[in-house]
Each structure stands twice: as C-alpha cells, then as structure tokens.
Amino acid sequence: MIPELAHFSLILAMCFAVLGFLVPVIGVYQRDRVLARLSLPLTYLTGVFTFLAFLGLCYSFSVDDFSVLYIAENSSQLLPLWFKISAVWGGHEGSLLLWVLILSGWNCYVAFRSHALYEDFRGILLSVLSLISSGFLSFLLFTSSPFVRLLPNSPQIGGDLNPLLQDFGLIIHPPMLYMGYVGFSVPFAFAIAALITGKMDAQWARWVRPWVNFAWAFLTLGIALGSWWAYYELGWGGWWFWDPVENASFMPWLAGTALLHSLAVSEKRGLFKSWTLLLAIFTFALSFLGTFLVRSGVLTSVHSFASDPTRGTYVLTMLLIIVGGGLLLFAMRASSIRNTSYFDIFGKESWLLLNNILLITLTLIVFVGTLSPLVLEAMGSGRVSVGPPYFNLVFNPVACLLIFFMGIGPISRWQSTKPKYLLRVTWFPFILALFIATACFQFLLFEWLAFFAFTIALWVLIMAIRDLLGKAVTKDTTVFTRMRKLPKSRYGMHIAHIGVVISLIGVVLVSINSEERFVRLHVGESASVKNYQFTLSDMAVSREANFVSQKAEFNVTNNDVALGVMYPEKRYYQTRGQVMTEAALSTGFTRDLYIALGERYDDDSWSVKIYVKSFVRWIWLGALVMMFGGILAALDKRYKPRGEIE
C-alpha cells in the first residue's frame, strides 16, 4: 500500500510542478497578480509531495518490502538500518528520486526567501524552477519509477546493496553532490528571469550570489567526498582518476567557480553582465550534461549506472529543451544589456577576466578530454582512452597559471591599480615563498611544475594573510575591532583561496613525496616503506552479517616506535558474489599509511600494497576550507533580503 501511496504522491508532485510552471507564466503575461502569486503554494506543494514519496520509499526500504522491484534489487534484510536507508539512493531510480527531492527542496527554499523580489521576477523565477522540477519528475515517473511492484512472485530475500556503496562515505556523498548539482538550477532560473524581465543590475547580482555560493560550496564538498571515498574504498590509493564521472562533476565546479567571480564584477562594477548570464546557463548545462553522461551509460566508468538508451534520450531531450531555450533567449535578449562602467589593464576586473578565461579554458579542456573518446568512436576512429597523462600534461600548467593570478587579483583595486603598488606588495611575499619552497624542496624530489606550484601556493597564502592583517592594522583602532568590521565576504574569499592553497600543497606533496610498495608477505614477515615498518602478524577469517571477512593484522612501527595495529580486509558478499578490498588506513596530518590486501599465493603468502601518502589529507581539508569560505561569503550582510522593494 505504501509504495502505491508514494507513487501517487509523486504523480501529484508532478502535476503541481507542471501547474507551477504554467500558472505563473499566465499570471505574469495577463498581469494577474493572484495567478502569479500561486507560484508560491504550487512550489511548496511540489516539495511536500515529493518529500512524502521519498519518505514512502525510505519506509518501504526499512521494512524490506521486496515486492518492490527496486528494493529487491538494491537492499537486503541483512543490511543494517542506516544502509537500508542509504540504499534508497544506491541505484538509478532512487538516486533520481533523491535528486528530485533536493531540487524541490531548493525550490521551496528559494520561494521562502523570495519575498524581496519583484512579483513578475519571482513568478518567472519559480516558474522556471518548476519547469526543471516537472522535467525531472516526469523523467522519474515515465522511465525510472522506483515503485514498480514485483507481484505476485516477489522474492523473499533482496539482491543486496552494491558492496561498493555499503559505506559511510556513500551515505553522504550523493546528497551533497546533488545539492551542488541541483543548486546551480537556481542561478539558471535567475538568469532566465533576468533575460525575460530585463532586470540585470547590481541588485540582481546580489540576489544570485548567495545561491551560487551555496551551490558551489555543496558541490565542492560533494566532489571532495567522492574523491575521499574513491581513495579509501576502491583500494588503489588514488584520490583523483580523471574518470569521466569525476570529470562530469568537475566541469560544473570549474564553470561555477568562474560564475562566482564574474558575479562579483557584475555586482560591484556592472560589467560582464551578459557573460555572467551565459555562465549561469553554462554551469547549469554542465550539471545537466553530467546527469546525462552518468545516467545514459554512454561513458565507461566505475561510477556509472546501468546503461539505458531510453533514459539517455529523455535526459537529452530535456537538456535540449531547457538549456536550448535558455540559450536562445540569451541570444535574443542579451545583446541589449549594457555595461555601465570601464576598467584598465591593471584593474581588478582584468584579473577577474583572466580568471574567467582560464577557468573556462580548464572547463573546456576537461570537456574535450572527457567527450573525445565518444566522438572519436562515433566517427569510426576506434576506441581511444584519455586518461591522467593527458590531463596532467594539459590541465596542470593552466591550473598553475590560474592560481598565480589568484595571488594578484585580490590585492588589486577595482577599475585601476598602479603597477608600482602591485609590485611593492607582491615582491617580498614572493621572495619569502621562494625561500621557504627552496628550503622545503631540499627534502623533496625536485620537479619543475611541483616546485612552481608549491611556490605559488605559499605566495598566495602569505598574500592572503597579509591582506587580512594589512586591512586590519590601522592607526585609530586595534587589530581586533578592525578585523571584526571587515565584511564577511572578504574573509570568505580569502578563506576559500587559502583552501585552494591547502589542497594544492596536498596535491603537490602527495605526488612527489609519497612512496608505495607492492610486497609479498607470510605471517610474521615485515616490509618497510619510507621509515615505517609493517609486520604481518596474523590472518583471520570471520563471518559478518552479510559478508565473509578475511582480515590481516599489521603491526606498524616508525623507527622502532610502535604506532599501532592496522587491519586491511577482504570481504566476500555472498548475495552478489562480490569481493571488496577494504583498505586499512592510519590517517595523519602529514601522512596517511594505507594497506590494501591483495591475493593469496599457494605458499600461504599474501600480496600486499602498502602506501605512505604524504599530506594526502590536505587535499580534502582544503576542500572543506573552500566550502567554509564559500558559505561565509554568502552570509555577508549585503545579501540579506531587505523587505519589498517595489
């Protein structure tokens, strides 16, 4: 009964979404305020009924209702409760429902915060959001309903959740990632509303900026969680593989970062307006493209869902209608938008322009690298792989250049900066950074790009701290009162930049200062990697609820100082007949120890991969700091809605 009710509730949600799209449009064009205002309750109703449907599915999962096909395929009575709940988004259908739920959630929140907007603007904004909702709701209902029953022959036991996904990281990774992906539909809707109503000014930019920041912060977190998960769960110790699905989430992040920066120019200086609108559409299009790539099965990846061309066609059609409509509107309306000021080559605007150009270059590089295997195959050139060597060669140098400008941009002034001032402010931090980097590299493997990146990272770090302190230290007040008075957005910016620096330092050090060994050990034997000794002291087999476990015990010492015991594991999940490598991790601020158990040889020895990963935590720590910076900037008081402005 519950699945049917949930299904029905989803149908209602779709009806409300369709109404939510149509009614405000009619209202706005007929100048009927009552109709236009209906956009609010319709948005809320869509949200409520989507939520009920989601609750229904969660409930059915929790009571092991295997008469529902999706649950039978993705859950098992043996799973602990929290995995039963996370199994809701363990497959295509349920994760799409989660997607739609988050989309409706964002829409409700936009509606809730929309009282400061003009009525026409709000009507169109919510209408566009409802259009996106109705697209995804219909996609869910028509091609991928999670409520299809398996009657009368419903199985007694479930097919179990994919063991890869039976993990804490996977409980939170998809919701966060989707928050980011879906969040970019809000700036898109704002852009469309701006194009239709012609309202594209500093106030518009102030409305949008917090939404972009939030979406960006969630996407940052989502990507970082995905990377962290792949690192410890896939068992081969990498943190980024340039896998198509990773790239699919990275492209909107890069474009979203560009949007973040160009919005600043549009708000403060009334420049790059049409470019900002285009970026808002572009970022959303890339999120959408990511969905298409992942769910149509056109890409071969560890993360992709089972392939189904019907679904691919549906998403593609939706993408072409919504994004195509947006771009057509852009083509017709954007040329009339006028910029309202000017700048010269050393103005902050020009550094931000460079930032945008480089970010879009990076986006397009990832785009070409990800899609060219598809294009080449379709053109009959056979199968080609584009992997880490390609991206490292073409992406990294451009990324370093971008981060170089990150040092100059924040300290330059709007409109025009004196070159002498720039030189005066930057030279000392640069020498200092060069000095520290040279000192550090006495202990590291020398590589030009690594050295360059490391120096820039330190330089940007010093400049950011200097800028915050420099702004704070003045004659009349104490440091702390001044620091408290600095706007949150300035802190947010510097913190996010420092986050980039932290990640970059992590990336550089993990790539040049890590060590790995692939050894073959009997019980009682040991191996040493860097100055750590790993002794295999025991092997044991045990039975758990839904898997059999083969666990090794390693005693780890660092130059004869005992550090503790690590338990790398292999798990055999009977229901799906799958084997999982559960790597053992000993995490640390400056290094991770990582052991992955390989296979057993005839003579009872085991192959073991041991890694010492230098500063790998910093990569994700940096992402957290970036996220924090993004959120802090969004909380700046100038973005607070200030009552009706009619």
Give the residue ranges of DSSP H helices in 379-487. 388-408, 419-441, 448-472, 479-485
Unique residue bearing structure tokens 């009614």: 23
Distance CA 3, CA 581 (A): 35
Residues in Cβ contact with 229 at an 8 Å cutoff, skipping those fewer than 6 apart = 167, 169, 170, 173
Q: For residue 580, state whether it binds other proteins (rule: CB under 8 A).
A: yes
What gap in Å lies between CA 623 and CA 629, rounded to an integer? 10
Q: Does 579 bind other proteins (CB under 8 A)?
A: yes
Q: How many residues does the chain have?
A: 646
Contact assessment for residue 57 and residue 148, using Cβ atoms and an 8 Å cutoff: no
Q: Please list the alpha-helical segments (H only) found in 513-564.
A: none
Tell me: does residue 419 bind other proteins (CB under 8 A). Answer: no
From the list 80, 198, 309, 470, which residue makes contact with other proteins (rule: CB under 8 A)? 309
- 449 binding other proteins? (CB under 8 A): no
**DSSP type of residue 305:** P
CB of 498 to other proteins, least distance (A): 26
Residue 2 buriedness (CB in 10 A; 0-12 / 13-18 / 19+)? middle
**268 lines the binding site for other proteins (CB under 8 A):** no
CB of 488 to other proteins, least distance (A): 30
Three-state secondary structure call for residue 601: coil
Residue whose structure tokens are 């954007």:
334
Rounded to an integer, what distance in angstroms lies between the CA atom of residue 51 and that of residue 53?
5
Q: Between 273 and 302, how does the x/- string for binding to other proteins read (CB under 8 A)? A: -x---x--xx--x------x---xxx-xxx
Q: Binding of other proteins at residue 72 (CB under 8 A)?
A: no
Alpha-carbon distance of 12 to 6, in angstroms, equals: 10
Determine the interface stretch with other proteins among 103-111, 381-389, 447-455, 554-562 (rule: CB under 8 A). Answer: 381-389
Cβ atoms < 10 Å from Cβ of 329 = 16
Residue number with CB closer to other proteins (67 or 396) = 396
Residue 3 lies near other proteins (rule: CB under 8 A): no
**Residues in 140-159 at the binding interface with other proteins, rule: CB under 8 A:** none
Contacts with other proteins in 239-258 (CB under 8 A)?
A: 241, 243-244
Q: Is 328 in the site for other proteins (CB under 8 A)?
A: yes
CB of 195 to other proteins, least distance (A): 11
Of 401 and 472, which has the nearer Cβ to other proteins? 401
**What is the Cα–Cα distance from 160 to 178, expressed in whole angstroms?**
24
Within positions 495 to 514, which residues make up the interface with other proteins, using CB under 8 A?
none
Closest contact distance (angstroms) between CB of 34 and other proteins is 35
x-marked contacts with other proteins along 113-142 as a string, rule CB under 8 A: ------------------------------
Options 357, 423, 469, 562; binder of other proteins; rule CB under 8 A: 357
Minimum distance from residue 419 beta carbon to other proteins (Å): 15
Residue 253 CB, shortest distance to other proteins, in Å, is 18
Q: Does 378 bind other proteins (CB under 8 A)?
A: yes
**Least separation, in Å, of the C-beta of 379 and other proteins?**
8
Contact 91, 159 (CB under 8 A): no
Tell me: does residue 534 bind other proteins (CB under 8 A): no
- Interacting residues with other proteins between 330 and 349 (CB under 8 A): 330-332, 334-335, 342-345
- Under 8 Å CB-to-CB from 385, ≥6 apart: which residues? 373
Q: How far is the CB of 299 from other proteins (least distance, A)?
A: 9
Quick one: tokens of 295?
């769910």
Distance in angstroms (rounded) separating the CA atoms of residues 471 and 467: 6
CB neighbour class for 595 (10 Å; exposed up to 12, middle 13-18, buried from 19): buried
Query: Under the criterion CB under 8 A, does residue 595 sit at the interface with other proteins?
Result: no
Of 63, 148, 157, 364, which lies in the binding site for other proteins, with binding defined by CB under 8 A?
364
CA distance between the termini of the chain: 49
CA distances from 571 to 367, 549, 582 (A): 37, 5, 7
Interaction between residue 398 and other proteins (CB under 8 A): yes
Which of the ranges 109-117, 218-226, 385-393, 421-429 carries the binding residues for other proteins, by CB under 8 A? Answer: 385-393
Q: Which is nearer to other proteins, 110 or 251 (CB)?
A: 251
364 versus 473: smaller Cβ distance to other proteins? 364
The site for other proteins, by CB under 8 A, has a size of 89
